């Protein structure tokens, strides 16, 4: 006949699933990541917007170039500032805390990069 006893609960489940993020968050957008900026450095290896969106690909490019193609370690920015193309002894020289820099956004965006499977994160100063 009509089976409303099954259809209505079914629709409720459907609406529940569709609205999952609404009731899961419960109106709370949570904290917005505020990565700690280096105090001393004047510029990064590339412009901020590029670094924000594409740093992971830049790191991969460094790795491939240095490890596989024997590329140079030392590089320079457009303005001529020299830097080390290295995660541990490059990036982390300025961005000294993985926790306060890397993790803030990674946790927010829920990504788990596998950099630290091999690389050793700098000692966190408590």
- Residues at the site binding other proteins, with contacts judged by CB under 8 A: 1-4, 7, 10-11, 14-15, 18-22, 24-25, 27-33, 49, 52-54, 56-57, 59-60, 105, 107-114
Give min distance, CB of 95 to other proteins, in A. 16
Please check whether residue 106 is in contact with residue 98, taking contact to mean a CB–CB distance below 8 angstroms. Answer: no
Contacts of 105-110 with CB under 8 Å at 24 or more apart are 105/33, 105/35, 107/33, 108/31, 108/32, 108/33
| Smaller CB separation from other proteins, 11 or 41 | 11
Give min distance, CB of 58 to other proteins, in A. 10
Give min distance, CB of 29 to other proteins, in A. 4
């Amino acid at each position: 006949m009509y089976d409303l006893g099954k259809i209505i609960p079914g629709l409720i489940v459907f609406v529940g699933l569709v609205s999952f993020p609404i009731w899961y968050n419960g109106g709370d957008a949570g904290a917005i990541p505020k990565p700690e900026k280096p105090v001393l450095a004047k510029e990064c290896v590339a412009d901020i917007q590029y670094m924000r969106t594409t740093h992971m690909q830049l790191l991969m490019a460094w790795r491939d170039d240095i490890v596989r193609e024997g590329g140079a370690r030392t590089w320079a920015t457009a303005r001529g500032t020299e830097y080390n193309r290295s995660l541990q002894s490059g990036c982390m020289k300025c961005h000294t805390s993985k926790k306060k820099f890397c993790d803030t956004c990674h946790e927010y965006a829920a990504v788990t990069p596998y950099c630290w499977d091999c690389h050793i994160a700098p000692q966190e100063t408590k």
